[in-house]
Amino acid sequence: MASRVPIWFMVVCLLSLTGVRAEESESKEFVLTLDHSNFSDTVGKHDFVVVEFYAPWCGHCKNLAPEYEKAASILSSHDPPIVLAKVDANEEVNKDLAAQFDVKGFPTIKILRNGGKSSQDYNGPREADGIVEYLKKQSGPASVEIKSVEDASNLIVDKKIVVVGIFPKLSGEEFEKYTALSEKLRSDYEFGHTTDAKLLPRGESSVTGPLIRLFKPFDELVVDFKDFDVAASEKFVEDASVPIVTVFDNDRSNHPFVIKFFNSQNAKAMLFLSFSSDIADAFRSKFHEVAEKFRTEGVSFLVGDLEASQGAFQYFGLREDQVPLIVIQTNDGQKYLKPNLEPDHIAPWVKEFKEGKVQPYKKSEPIPEQNNEPVKVVVADTLQEIVFNSGKNVLLEFYAPWCGHCKSLAPILEEVAVSYESDPDVIIAKLDSTANDIPNDTFEVKGYPTVYFKTASGKILLYDEDRTKEAIIAFIEKNREKIEKEESGKKIEKEESGKDEL
Ligand SMILES: *[C@@H]1O[C@H](CO)[C@@H](O)[C@H](O)[C@H]1NC(C)=O
Ligand SMILES: *[C@@H]1O[C@H](CO)[C@@H](O)[C@H](O)[C@H]1NC(C)=O
């Protein structure tokens, strides 16, 4: 399943269409440099190899580089040696390779096993010692045997989900299925097995198994499960390891749970408030009550500290003066917002949401007071009016403020707009996609800039030609439609100029 973790949460650089080339440093020794030409051959020779996809301009990659190199040097003397490699995914020739591994941000690190036949995400730390420890564990057996209380306390540590199989003997069908489960989920959880439940810190100690016991640092702390079918036990582990309320703050040890939260198929209810405020406890305990009630009804719950949530606020178009607030995001991309709420509002509002009584919320920049530049500014709240209901031919650019190709296109679009200024039937417009929600069933915007043309009668065409003034004008001339009735055309135009100063 592709990850649904939102970009605002990930500690990565976004894939950018405008990579800047940086200087290669020459002093690297232990990390193998791979590219499209030798990737398969090299990976094919190893049972276990780690590959970092990076971009030279990405700051998070630069921070990782010396740690990764140090880890590679330590792990080169591990028995057997563990190989760390890297691929410059910014290089045009390596982009297919990166796409094959679903690289969406940098750095993306993958663990490849069996000569590259299986691959999993590296979810470990980003400093040398942590990387070394994590990879040693990953390259060993997926589940470790617990033979003493000390083994148990080494494995079952705070802040981690740990799964332990309890068996009368370490063989047989259940044990094999458990081993398969541990291999499948090893990158996300710690696994152990034992023949003696008394060694474990929590749970009924008289059991002999076969039994799967999950330890977690929240809620009921320990849960048992008896079905060894791999699909059933996988679902058990996934479900049991989601907190009733996930906490999002600056504590990185909570982040694996945040990732799980976003990967869930449920609607996602997020309460944002300042954890240091006096009212935080009252809110959190009410929210927890609501979560216990609705978690079985397809809603997951997260409480986020305002201090850690700038990215989320930008993404959802929220403001600090709306805090405390709840935003619910559903899988069809709709959002629902309850700003400035009181603890007692939480339950009734979530109930109303479940009953379909809450109107979706749309992120929009404010409607510009002045809109008299040649290229008109469209925001989410004026999209209907300017683009769909104007009855005109509209060329609309979806851009991002940070995008270099958009900056290059801007003066060209401006020239096009100037040449249509005296033509009442054609509008040239732009919309900041990072600050406005757009209906994704009408416009598919995967990269920036994306340019669409809506004809007077409402046909939607993707502009996929050269980004030159001549080509754009030729396209408009080829596809523009006459405005049907003089009368109604004029009428619409009048209404609009009254409202928008178009
Ligand atoms: C793979 O090819 C690149 C480019 O030719 C080279 O820099 C790199 O050293 C090669 N790596 C290996 C392991 O052969
Ligand atoms: C677009 O919206 C539809 C339904 O509204 C949803 O199923 C789909 O996942 C959305 N696609 C993206 C890329 O957000």
Binding site membership of 2 for ligand 2 (Cβ less than 6 Å)? no
pLDDT exceeds 50 at position 492: no
Cα of 124 to ligand 1 centre, how many Å? 26
Binding site membership of 278 for ligand 2 (Cβ less than 6 Å)? no
Distance spanning both ends of the chain, measured CA to CA = 46
| Cα separation values, 288 from 74, 83, 121, 244, 301, Å | 45, 45, 31, 7, 8
What is the per-residue pLDDT across 107-142, written as a single tens digit (0 to 9) for each?
999 999 989 988 888 988 899 999 999 999 899 999
Cα of 38 to ligand 1 centre, how many Å? 6
Q: So which residues are the catalytic ones? A: 58, 61, 403, 406
The string of DSSP letters for 91-156 reads SGGGHHHHHHTT--EESEEEEEEGGGTEEEE--S-SSHHHHHHHHHHHHS-SEEE--SHHHHHHHS
User: Which residues are bridge partners to 166 per DSSP?
Assistant: 194, 211
Report, in this order, helix, strand and coil percent for the chain, each rounded to 5: 35, 20, 40
In CATH, 245-354 is 3.30.420.40: no
Pick 143-240's CATH classification: 3.40.30.10, 3.40.50.620, 3.40.50.300, 3.90.650.10: 3.40.30.10
Mean pLDDT, the chain, rounded, equals 89
pLDDT exceeds 70 at position 454: yes
What is the per-residue pLDDT across 250-304, written as a single tens digit (0 to 9) for each?
888 888 889 889 888 889 999 999 999 999 999 999 999 999 999 888 899 999 9
The string of DSSP letters for 222-266 reads EEEE----HHHHHHHHHHHTS-SEEEESS-GGGHHHHHHHHHSSS
Binding site membership of 488 for ligand 1 (Cβ less than 6 Å)? no
Binding site membership of 38 for ligand 1 (Cβ less than 6 Å)? yes
Tokens of 375: 């290229």
Binding site membership of 440 for ligand 2 (Cβ less than 6 Å)? yes
pLDDT exceeds 50 at position 46: yes
| Coil, strand or helix at 340 | coil
**Banded model confidence at residue 501, pLDDT cuts 50, 70, 90:** very low
Q: What value does the mean pLDDT take over residues 215-226?
A: 95
Q: What is the pLDDT of residue 21?
A: 40
Cα of 404 to ligand 2 centre, how many Å? 27
Q: Which atom in ligand 2 lies closest to the alpha carbon of residue 334?
A: 5
CATH architecture of 376-500: 3-Layer(aba) Sandwich (3.40)
Cα of 339 to ligand 2 centre, how many Å? 25
Binding site membership of 439 for ligand 2 (Cβ less than 6 Å)? no
In CATH, 13-139 is 3.30.70.2190: no
User: Which residues are bridge partners to 48 per DSSP?
Assistant: 113
**Banded model confidence at residue 8, pLDDT cuts 50, 70, 90:** low
Could you say which DSSP state residue 420 is in?
T
Binding site membership of 253 for ligand 1 (Cβ less than 6 Å)? no
Tokens of 455: 């004809």
**Which of 104, 262, 332, 450 for mutating ligand 2's site (highest number of atoms within 8 Å of CB)?**
332
Whether 245-354 and 13-139 are alike in CATH topology: the answer is yes
Counting ligands in written order, which one lies closest to the CA of residue 6?
Answer: 2
Tokens of 250: 């600056």
Question: What's at 483, amino acid-wise?
Answer: I
Tokens of 476: 């408009």
Counting ligands in written order, which one lies closest to the CA of residue 24?
Answer: 1
**Which of 38, 42, 52 for mutating ligand 1's site (highest number of atoms within 8 Å of CB)?**
38
Counting ligands in written order, which one lies closest to the CA of residue 87?
Answer: 1
What is the per-residue pLDDT across 457-478, written as a single tens digit (0 to 9) for each?
999 999 999 999 999 999 999 9
Rounded to whole angstroms, the Cα distance separating 92 from 488 reads 51
Cα of 93 to ligand 1 centre, how many Å? 13
Please name which of 171, 166, 141 lies closest in space to residue 152, comparing C-alpha atoms.
Answer: 166
Q: What value does the mean pLDDT take over residues 316-325?
A: 90
Domain boundaries, the chain: 13-139, 143-240, 245-354, 376-500
Cα of 334 to ligand 2 centre, how many Å? 9
Counting ligands in written order, which one lies closest to the CA of residue 445?
Answer: 2
Candidate from 281-285, 361-365, 383-387, 389-393 with smallest mean pLDDT: 361-365
Report the 10 Å Cβ neighbour count for 80: 9
Binding site membership of 497 for ligand 1 (Cβ less than 6 Å)? no
Q: Which atom in ligand 1 lies closest to the alpha carbon of residue 85?
A: 13
Binding site membership of 332 for ligand 2 (Cβ less than 6 Å)? yes
Q: What is the pLDDT of residue 264?
A: 83
Binding site membership of 360 for ligand 2 (Cβ less than 6 Å)? no
Cα of 269 to ligand 1 centre, how many Å? 47
Candidate from 22-31, 81-90, 144-153, 207-216 with smallest mean pLDDT: 22-31
